[in-house]
Amino acid sequence: MRRFQLIEPDSFDAAITALEKDPGAKAIAGGTALLILIKHGVYLPETLVNLRKIRGVAGITFDPKKGLRIGALTSLYDVERHPLVRERYPVLAEACHVVANIRIRNLATIGGNLAHADYQSDPPAALVALDARLELSSSSGTREVALSDFLLGAYETVLEPGELVRAVLLPTNEPGWRGAYLKFTTRSSEDRPAVGLTALIRMEDDRCVDARLVVGAVTPTPVRMTAAEAVIRGRKLAGDLFAEVGSIVERTLEPIDDLRGSASYKRRVAGALTERALERCIKQGGPQ
Amino acid sequence: MKRPITTTINERTRDIVVAPNRTLLEVLRDELGLRGAVEGCGVGVCGSCTVLVDDRPVSSCLMLATNAEGRTITTIEGVSRDGELSPVQRAFLEQQAFQCGFCTPGMIMAVEGLIRENPNPDEAEIRDYLSGNLCRCGTYSAVIAAVQSVVVQARAETENSRPAAH
């Protein structure tokens, strides 16, 4: 691998200082995305700031008022296995579980996954559906940004130079939510998603009172299917409605072509996944 | 600039000096002479460079060696005891769970990781856990049989070691 300088701060603040001093420096956490780019010669950094040796930025806590807080350096495997995530936000556990393979999930971090902003990734679509917010830190303080505002495009975020993702925050969920994350791959089971779909619905008796449908990996950032969501709200969820909602997703989605599928193919897959995800929500019951 | 790190490799504490751009795989193979982990794809897809870091499988081709600092690394060279193969290694031999052998060190380390985390996995859990370790000879069903035989054996040993009821 090409040489680079590696700064190894032992605190989050020291990492921010290092990044501010050298505007060309970039942060590296798990390294599973960045090292591949460096090995392939796509990205050739002069200086990287290693976040991996910083203690106290990993871990998951829950506060009934504030919701869930996931430290940015928590590995994807720790997110997927954590009892709080599995009980309260199972759709996030599902989305993390299908990333690559266990070896990558043990290295990759949730903060790195979001800051890297690769559109062909599973966790962002689930986190956008869950209304995740990010805590960003820099020398001028801390700010909170909704994930849907944080992601600007493929590999593009609102992060300023010298600013780092410190935590992922999920609001406390009201009772009655159910959810599913479905991943569709076109090359191998551990490939990046060709299409990823998150469905969350909130039921009161047998009626759906709220819904969120988010498609990932088809557009530069995860996209909410608001027209399809509007059709679900207030309705009884049954066979005909699944197909109707699926066809709305198929008609309204505007995917980009890439090597994992053409736009028209991805559109049809997203429609089919919508139907399947809603069916699973109904069958499974339980919380998100 | 190279930096000194302290890490535990196969139960031995080592003080080593690593360059910032070296992966754990490169340091294990080229500097420590531990050539069991091999490079297949170099991008975390194939699993032939799998080692355990704090008992969890990782792709050593995508881990910077400097991050081994303070960690416990286990490679294929470290799973046998006093010249005796580990139960997983024995099961791979008994079930002929390899052909050319290139993927085998990584495959065995992934299984070691699985058994350490979940000593009693069912078939679906085995398949799910190992789905990222590729074998181009196609020995998958024999690998699963090997894991199942380790699980059955471990369960039998636990039951035998229980004191007999009076």
Interface mutation vs chain A, best among B52, B64, B127, B133, most A CBs within 10 Å: B64
Domain boundary pick from A170, A185, A216: A170
Domain count, chain A: 3
Nearest Cβ partner for B132 among A5, A31, A190: A190
Which residue range(s) make up the domain with A143? 60-170
Do A181 and A158 lie in a common domain? no
Domain boundary pick from A170, A195, A222: A170
Calculate the CA A192 to chain-centre distance. 13
Do A153 and A135 lie in a common domain? yes
Q: Where are the beta strands (DSSP E) in B19-155?
A: 50-53, 56-59, 72-74
Measured distance CA(A285)–CA(A283) in Å, rounded: 6
Identify the CATH number of the domain in which residue A246 sits. 3.30.390.50
A101 and B133: CB-CB below 8 Å?
A: yes
- The SS3 call for residue A42 is coil
Measured distance CA(B23)–CA(B60) in Å, rounded: 7
Q: Which residues contact A97 (CB under 8 A, 6 or more apart)?
A: A80, A105
A101 and B63: CB-CB below 8 Å?
A: no
In-domain check, residue A214: yes
Identify the CATH number of the domain in which residue A126 sits. 3.30.465.10
Do A190 and A268 lie in a common domain? yes
Domain boundary pick from A122, A148, A170: A170
Do A44 and A98 lie in a common domain? no
A190 and B53: CB-CB below 8 Å?
A: no
In-domain check, residue A37: yes
Task: Please write the tens of the pLDDT for every residue from B51-90.
Answer: 999 999 999 999 999 999 999 999 999 999 899 999 999 9
Measured distance CA(A36)–CA(B43) in Å, rounded: 6
Residues of chain A with C-beta less than 8 angstroms from the C-beta of B57: 102-103, 106
Measured distance CA(A285)–CA(A287) in Å, rounded: 7
pTM: 0.96
Own/partner pairs, A36-43, CB within 8 angstroms, 24+ separation: A36/B43, A36/B44, A36/B62, A38/A1, A38/A2, A38/A4, A38/B21, A39/A1, A39/B42, A39/B43, A41/A2
Q: CA nearest A35 in B: which residue?
A: B62
Which domains does chain B show, CATH number per domain?
Answer: 3-78 (3.10.20.30), 87-161 (1.10.150.120)
In-domain check, residue A55: no
pLDDT of residue B145: 98
CB pairs under 8 A between A and B: 82
Task: Please write the tens of the pLDDT for every residue from A207-233.
Answer: 999 999 999 999 999 999 999 999 999
Q: Which residues in chain A show pLDDT less than 50?
A: none
B59 and A103: CB-CB below 8 Å?
A: yes
Task: Please write the tens of the pLDDT for every residue from B86-104.
Answer: 999 999 999 999 999 999 9
In-domain check, residue A196: yes
Identity of the residue numbered A69: R
Do A163 and A184 lie in a common domain? no
| Residue-level length of chain A | 288
